[in-house]
Amino acid sequence: MDYAIQQTLNALSFGAEYALIALGLAIVFSIMGLVNFAHGEVVAFGGYSMVITATLLTSNPWIIMVGVMFACVLTAVVLERVAFRTVRGADLTTGLLTAFGVSIVLQNLFLLLGSPRAMAATQFIFLDKTLTIGTIRVSSLQIYETLATFVAIVVLMLFLRKTPLGIAMRAAALDFEMVRLCGFRANRVIAGAFAISGLLAGLACIFIMARRGSVQPHMGFDPVLVAFVACVIGGFGSLPGAVLGGFLLGIAEVTILIILPQSAGGLSSAAVFFLVALVLIWRPDGILSPAREKGDKI
Amino acid sequence: MMSYFNSDQRKGLIGSALLSLMILAIVGAYYIWGETYHARILYATFVNLLVVVGLQVFTGNANITGFSHAAFMGVAAYIAAICVTPAAMKMISLPDAPWGLNTFELSALASATIALVITGLMGLATGLIFVRLSGVGVTITSIALLVIVHSIFLHRTDIFKGNQALFGIPKIFDLSHITGLVILAIFVARLFRESSVGLQLRASSDDEAGARSIGVDVRRVRLIAWVMSTCFFATAGVAYSFFLGTISARPFYFNFVFLTVAMLILGGLRSVTGAVFGTLLITIGLELVRWLETGPVLIGVKLPQMLGLSGLLLGVVIVAVMAFLPNGIMGHREIEDLLHRKRKKGRKNDVSSYDSQA
């Protein structure tokens, strides 16, 4: 029983982390059709901003947390302005490759200006304690992570349903031209989407850093790869799909780790990606995406 | 003989011949002026060229980006290496190999054939799945394939040695072999582009619904192109392991994928000439930057060591090309189109269009 609860929490917290990053990808994709592979570098920059804030200003973790969120939002918005505005409305491959290019540029900037080796950033480690509830021992970080993700999803949902900008964003996912005709500025809607994706990246960054305690130039790549997969499983551009995909991946990963013998531990990501390939063969456009006629989207 | 080809295909033959002359000129320049270490750079460039031309066959003609080419290349490299390495050497390098993999050795030709056939079959098996998907589906599934193959390389250290090197592969190829292969690849890729299957594929990438409506079997032509490009990657993999003497899993992953895709998009993915030009330009650029990266002394000034500069510039090139030159340097044009227009309008226009990028 203890074991089951621990593993469930494992699955939930993995899933929460994937879902946070996947949501950041999905909200940008739903509005401007861009697969933002540089999202992982936004997360990594959050990690570097920790190092910068801690050496320049203060080592108070709560202030650093605010700083991380701010840094991630700022990076996401700046990237939109500098790199992604020029490929707005271009086809999917163009956007994807631009995002890859931006991601390579940022990684190498971290390498040039930071350090090729891991830099210590341990301010958030205190979030990770072992709690004992009755006979069950769980990690406090996993609980925070799961709760924070649920709160973030609820807040995001309220924002998208209740505020004018949120409603404009949902409408933009369906018909961007119509939203512009209704008097919303295209730039503001898209910048808003990037800001939200940055905020989600900041949240994810805090939990990733609490777990790792160090920051590396390439650390954003693996999470965003998994988040990308989560989006694709759920149906690209669908926000509920991104959340569903994230949690499904978390569950799949933990299940595979349990089922596979210890000696085959290195094959867990191969097994996850194999399952993903199977899902895509079953539903090429993802689980929660409606069937769409080809040739309509011109 | 010439009447066997239509006019586009005859143009294709001329274009391939021109590109081959360019390749031969580069190799000739090396033999006259080059130093020994240039041979290694040139060989690596030509292996990349094989991969990029192979990418052009599928990605360029179908306009669907795949990222799994490094996986196919790795599979072929490992198969060829394991088959061709002498059994005595394999007892040392692969002592725990299962299925008696370290007890036999084959000739170079047999090894290369086996590598090509197995990788080709793998291409067929994956292709049957890939052609059912559309656009972003192919991209993600190809990434999945890359990750799966890579983690198998890393995990089965008894066969692949993981991140350690698999050593003792005899050196079979030299520069003349790879030059021959590159020229063959250019001709095959170009003739495929101008063949009826290639034309149907290009039509389907411009307007899939339209192509279907005039009777193009989109899945069939995509499958043919996919398997063909897999064979290009396999050839590159075999050439890679037959030259270097050691291979490891690390080069067959994302960095190599990005590098080759950047080469293709810089040149322009719709044309074979673009693939060739993109590869050469990025290779020359990277060699220059790598030299800067080590902190050389330039006009009496000692430059600082700057790790990551080459990667940075690679990324900037990708972003800049996508933003300002989304069709690459060549766009739809092939090399003979350049010459043709030069004769008409004088040299100015066309030369400036790619010189400004160089």
Residues of A in contact with B139 (CB under 8 A): 93, 96
| Nearest-Cα residue of chain B relative to residue A284 | B133
Q: What is the DSSP letter of B247?
A: B
CA pair distance B271, B190, nearest whole angstrom? 8
A267 reaches B (C-beta below 8 A): yes
Q: What is the DSSP letter of A266?
A: G
Which residues on adjacent β-strands are paired with residue B166?
Answer: B247
Q: Is B301 helix (H, G, I), strand (E, B) or coil?
A: strand
Pairing of strands A130-133, A136-139: antiparallel
Which residues on adjacent β-strands are paired with residue A137?
Answer: A132
CA pair distance B102, B117, nearest whole angstrom? 21
CA distance A279 to chain B (A): 10
Looking at per-residue pLDDT, the higher value among A290 and B356 belongs to A290
* pLDDT reported for residue B343: 53
* pLDDT reported for residue B14: 82
CA distance A293 to chain B (A): 10
Judged against a pLDDT cut of 50, whether residue B61 lies above it is answered with yes
Record: contact B140-A295, CB cut-off 8 A = no
Of A234, A89, A228, A96, which is closest to residue B59 (Cα–Cα)? A96
**Residue B302: enclosing H or E segment and its boundaries?**
strand B301-302
Interface with chain B: mutation pick from A35, A78, A105, A260, highest number of B CBs within 10 Å: A105
Kindly calculate the radius of gyration of chain A based on its CA atoms and give it in whole angstroms: 19
* pLDDT reported for residue B356: 38
**Residue B32: enclosing H or E segment and its boundaries?**
helix B7-33
- The winner for highest mean pLDDT among B56-60, B214-218, B233-237 is B233-237
Q: Is 0.95 topped by the overall pTM? A: no
Judged against a pLDDT cut of 50, whether residue B351 lies above it is answered with no
Mean pLDDT value across residues B325-329: 77
Record: contact B143-A102, CB cut-off 8 A = no
How confident is residue B229, by pLDDT bands cut at 50, 70 and 90?
Answer: very high
CA A282 to chain centre: 25
Record: contact A111-B307, CB cut-off 8 A = yes
Query: Looking at the partner chain, which of A97, A106, A269 has a beta carbon nearest the beta carbon of B265?
Result: A97
CA distance A63 to chain B (A): 31
Report whether B202 contacts B193 (CB < 8 A). yes
* pLDDT reported for residue B100: 65
A278 reaches B (C-beta below 8 A): no
Of B317, B320, B59, which is closest to residue B201 (Cα–Cα)? B59
**Residue B323: enclosing H or E segment and its boundaries?**
helix B309-324
| Placement of tokens 């005859």 in the chain | B10
The residue type found at A106 is L
Per-block mean pLDDT, blocks of 10 residues, chain A (298 long): 78 87 87 84 89 81 86 91 81 78 87 78 75 75 85 89 87 81 84 91 88 83 83 79 86 81 67 76 69 42
In order, the DSSP letters of A193-209 are: HHHHHHHHHHHHHHHHH
Of A234, A245, A287, which is closest to residue A16 (Cα–Cα)? A245
Mean pLDDT value across residues B216-234: 90
A and B: number of Cβ contacts within 8 A: 138
Interface with chain B: mutation pick from A37, A82, A280, A292, highest number of B CBs within 10 Å: A280
Report whether B49 contacts B182 (CB < 8 A). yes
* pLDDT reported for residue A124: 75
Mean pLDDT value across residues B158-182: 78
Residues of A in contact with B143 (CB under 8 A): 225, 228-229
Kindly calculate the radius of gyration of chain B based on its CA atoms and give it in whole angstroms: 21
How confident is residue B341, by pLDDT bands cut at 50, 70 and 90?
Answer: low
Question: Using one digit for the tens of pLDDT, what is the confidence trace for B267-290?
Answer: 888 888 888 888 888 888 888 887
Question: Using one digit for the tens of pLDDT, what is the confidence trace for B76-120?
Answer: 988 888 888 777 777 777 767 677 667 677 777 888 888 889 999
Which residues on adjacent β-strands are paired with residue A214?
Answer: A120
The residue type found at A138 is V
Q: What is the DSSP letter of A81?
A: I
| Placement of tokens 């190599």 in the chain | B256
End-to-end CA distance of chain A: 54
Question: Using one digit for the tens of pLDDT, what is the confidence trace for B67-79?
Answer: 888 899 999 988 8
Record: contact A294-B134, CB cut-off 8 A = yes
State the helix-helix crossing angle for A39-56 and A186-212, rounded to 10 degrees: 60
Distance of CA B18 to CAs A209, B13, B187, B254, B272, Å?
55, 9, 10, 32, 12
Q: Poorest-confidence range of A209-213, B55-59, B122-126?
A: A209-213
Of A151, A174, A173, A154, which is closest to residue A162 (Cα–Cα)? A154
For A231, phi and psi rounded to 5 degrees? -60, -45
Q: Which residues, other chains included, contact A268 with Cβ-Cβ below 8 Å and sequence gap of 6+?
A: A253, A256, A257, A260
Residues of A in contact with B155 (CB under 8 A): 264, 266-267, 270
Residues of A in contact with B322 (CB under 8 A): 86-87, 90, 94, 97-98, 101
A260 reaches B (C-beta below 8 A): no
Structure tokens belonging to residue B2 = 């010439």
Structure tokens belonging to residue B293 = 């990266």
Query: Looking at the partner chain, which of B136, B144, B326 has a beta carbon nearest the beta carbon of A277?
Result: B144
Query: What ipTM goes with this model?
Result: 0.73
